[in-house]
C-alpha cells in the first residue's frame, strides 16, 4: 500500500478538509493560567487541529452553579480542524481529563472546561453536542474574549462584540495578566 498520491493526483487533493471552529476554555481551580496554557498546546498537538488565533485571557465571576466558587480565567481559540464534530468533542474532553476535570455538579468549579462554540456553519440540536453552543450568545465570558480576538466575529448573524456588551455577566469581566504582567495569547 502506497501513501503517495496516485499519479496525476495532487497532494492537496488527498489532504482532508478543514473546518473552522471556535473553542472556549475556562478554569477556576488550581493553577488556572498554567492550565489554560497547557490546554491550548494539548488541543493543537495533533495534525488534525491547527491553531488560527488565541484571545487574551479574562477573569470572570462564575455564572450559575453553586455559590462561593473562585473566579474563572477564560479565553477563546479559533482553530481549523479535520476532526468531525463528535471527534472534536472527544478530543476536547480528553484534554479536560488530562487536567483531572470532574463532572459532579453542573456549572461547578473545575480545573478545565473546553466547549465547542461553533463548528463551521453546522447547526445541531443534539443533546450531546448542540451547535452553536446553546448559551454562548448570553455569556460575556465567551463573547468578550472572542470579540477581542476577532472584532468582526458573528454568532447567529449577530456581532459577537454587541452580544458581549448585552450579556448579563459583562460587568464582571476583567483583563487578566499573569505575574509578569503579560497576557496569554494575542496582544490586547
Q: At what angle do helices 85-98 and 32-43 cross, to 10 degrees?
A: 140
Choosing from 32, 113, 139, 150, which is the catalytic residue? 113
Instruction: Give the model's confidence band at 107: pLDDT under 50 very low, under 70 low, under 90 confident, else very high.
Output: low
pTM for this one?
Answer: 0.84
Rounded to a whole number of angstroms, the CA Rg of the chain reads: 17
Q: Residues for the chain: how many in total?
A: 188
What ranges do the domains of the chain cover?
Answer: 16-175
- Cα distance between residue 141 and residue 165, in whole Å: 11
80 labelled catalytic: no
- Cα distance between residue 167 and residue 158, in whole Å: 13
Instruction: Give the model's confidence band at 99: pLDDT under 50 very low, under 70 low, under 90 confident, else very high.
Output: confident
Q: Give which of 140, 156, 138 is closest to 148, Cα–Cα.
A: 140
128 labelled catalytic: no
The answer to whether 21 and 79 have CB atoms below 8 angstroms apart is yes
- Cα distance between residue 67 and residue 14, in whole Å: 51
Choosing from 20, 50, 52, 101, which is the catalytic residue? 101
126 labelled catalytic: no
103 phi, psi to nearest 5 deg: -115, 75
Choosing from 32, 110, 139, 150, which is the catalytic residue? 110
What dihedral angle (degrees, nearest 10) is formed by the CA atoms of 63, 55, 125, 158? 90
- Cα distance between residue 75 and residue 29, in whole Å: 15
Tens-digit pLDDT profile for residues 40-98: 999 999 999 999 999 999 999 888 767 778 998 999 999 999 999 999 999 999 999 88
Choosing from 115, 139, 150, 169, which is the catalytic residue? 115
Assign domain 16-175 one CATH number from 3.30.497.10, 3.50.50.60, 3.30.70.560, 3.90.420.10: 3.30.70.560
106 labelled catalytic: no
Average pLDDT over the chain, rounded to an integer: 85
The answer to whether 102 and 28 have CB atoms below 8 angstroms apart is no
Amino acid at each position: 500500500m502506497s501513501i503517495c498520491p496516485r499519479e496525476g493526483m495532487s497532494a492537496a487533493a488527498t489532504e482532508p478538509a478543514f473546518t473552522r471552529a471556535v473553542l472556549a476554555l475556562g478554569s477556576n481551580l488550581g493553577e488556572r493560567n498554567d492550565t489554560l496554557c497547557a490546554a491550548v498546546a494539548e488541543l493543537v498537538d495533533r495534525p488534525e487541529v491547527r491553531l488560527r488565533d488565541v484571545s487574551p485571557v479574562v477573569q470572570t465571576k462564575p455564572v450559575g452553579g453553586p455559590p462561593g466558587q473562585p473566579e474563572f480565567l477564560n479565553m477563546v481559540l479559533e482553530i481549523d480542524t479535520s476532526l468531525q464534530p463528535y471527534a472534536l468533542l472527544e478530543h476536547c474532553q480528553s484534554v479536560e481529563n488530562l487536567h483531572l476535570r470532574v463532572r459532579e455538579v453542573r456549572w461547578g468549579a473545575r480545573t478545565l472546561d473546553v466547549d465547542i462554540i461553533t463548528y463551521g456553519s453546522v447547526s445541531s440540536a443534539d443533546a450531546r453536542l448542540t451547535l452553536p453552543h446553546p448559551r454562548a450568545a448570553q455569556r460575556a465570558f465567551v463573547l468578550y474574549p472572542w470579540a477581542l480576538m476577532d472584532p468582526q466575529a458573528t454568532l447567529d448573524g449577530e456581532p459577537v462584540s454587541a452580544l458581549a456588551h448585552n450579556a448579563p455577566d459583562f460587568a464582571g469581566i476583567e483583563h487578566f495578566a499573569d505575574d509578569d504582567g503579560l497576557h496569554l495569547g494575542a496582544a490586547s
